[in-house]
Amino acid sequence: MPELVVAKPREGRFSKNAARRVRAAGKIPAVLYGAGHEPVAVEVDPKQISRILFSESGHNTIFDVEVSGAQAAKAMIVDWQREPIKDKLIHIDMKRIALDKVLKVSVRVKLIGVPVGVKTEGGILDQVMREVEIECLPADIPSHIDVDVSGMKMHDVLRVSGLPHSDKIEYLDDEDATVAHVITIREEVAAPAEGDAAAAAATATPAEPEVAKKGKTDAAEPAAGKKPEAKK
């Protein structure tokens, strides 16, 4: 059965002081929105949220959320923030979902096996894309996408087109995008050409890395931002 998250409306709604009081009491300030409802400021149990985020399906887990004894609704965690020093959850955004409407979600790509090019040719496996964006019904969201790379030789490239496809999910990334490739150690450590220096620097130091996106250092209460809505 889906986990039931009991959310309590918080006083002060979206104020910073109210969020601080919630954290001081050992709870996490959260926002619940979506499905045509106004955003609601609530507080939730950090142990429940951590259990969901560290489960096999992670942030794509579908659970029941109940506010003030009202009928439970299906929801997902769509964003979260962590305090940078102690790595504690300090805020989450939850979105109500409809089981009959498709969603856009990011799913982890899990590479299975050791490529031939690594075992016998001295290459290394470089995974370029660790997540891919897909569109599907909530019930069809995979916990991760497995792909066997044991047959990859030196310089072989795994593209989005080579990932497992089905009629239940649609890949939104370019089919020619590189997911992983087997390269030589020299290619891995080679310095970028002068013309590519700016692009390499941008790749090496992204403006907001994946960890930062889900662990912002600002402990202030975020406003309910624009979130991707499910297709009709």
Q: What is the CATH number of the domain that holds 185?
A: 2.170.120.20
What pLDDT score does 127 carry?
97
- 196 confidence band (pLDDT: 50, 70, 90): low
| Nearest alpha carbon to residue 94 among 77, 71, 73 | 77
Residues 89 and 113 in one domain: no
202 pLDDT above the threshold of 80: no
Which percentage of the chain shows pLDDT scores above 90? Answer: 64
Residues 17 and 94 in one domain: yes
Lowest mean pLDDT among 88-92, 184-188, 194-198: 194-198
Residues 58 and 137 in one domain: no
Mean pLDDT, the chain, rounded, equals 83
Residues 37 and 50 in one domain: yes
Count how many domains the chain has: 2
Write down the pTM of the prediction: 0.69
Does residue 212 sit within a domain? no
Residues 15 and 74 in one domain: yes
Give me the CATH number covering residue 25: 2.40.240.10
Does residue 224 sit within a domain? no
Does residue 213 sit within a domain? no
Q: How far from 207 is each of 99, 129, 202, 214, CA to CA, in Å?
A: 34, 18, 8, 14
Domain that holds residue 67: 4-98
Which of left, alpha, beta for 13 (phi over 0: left; psi -120 to 50: alpha)? left
Q: Single out the residue in 69, 98, 127 at which a domain terminates.
A: 98
User: For residues 36 and 79, what is the distance between their CA atoms, to the nearest angstrom?
Assistant: 19
175 pLDDT above the threshold of 70: yes
Does residue 43 sit within a domain? yes
Does residue 228 sit within a domain? no
What pLDDT score does 227 carry?
45
**Sheet with 144-148: strands ordered across:** 144-148, 103-112, 131-136, 170-171
Residues 41 and 8 in one domain: yes
Residues 170 and 92 in one domain: no
**Is residue 146 within 8 Å of residue 110, measured between CB atoms?**
yes
What pLDDT score does 25 carry?
92
What pLDDT score does 217 carry?
39
Does residue 229 sit within a domain? no
Residue pLDDT, tens place only, 91-117:
999 999 999 999 999 999 999 999 999
Residue pLDDT, tens place only, 28-45:
999 999 888 889 999 999
Residues 9 and 79 in one domain: yes
209, burial (CB in 10 Å: exposed 0-12, middle 13-18, buried 19+):
exposed
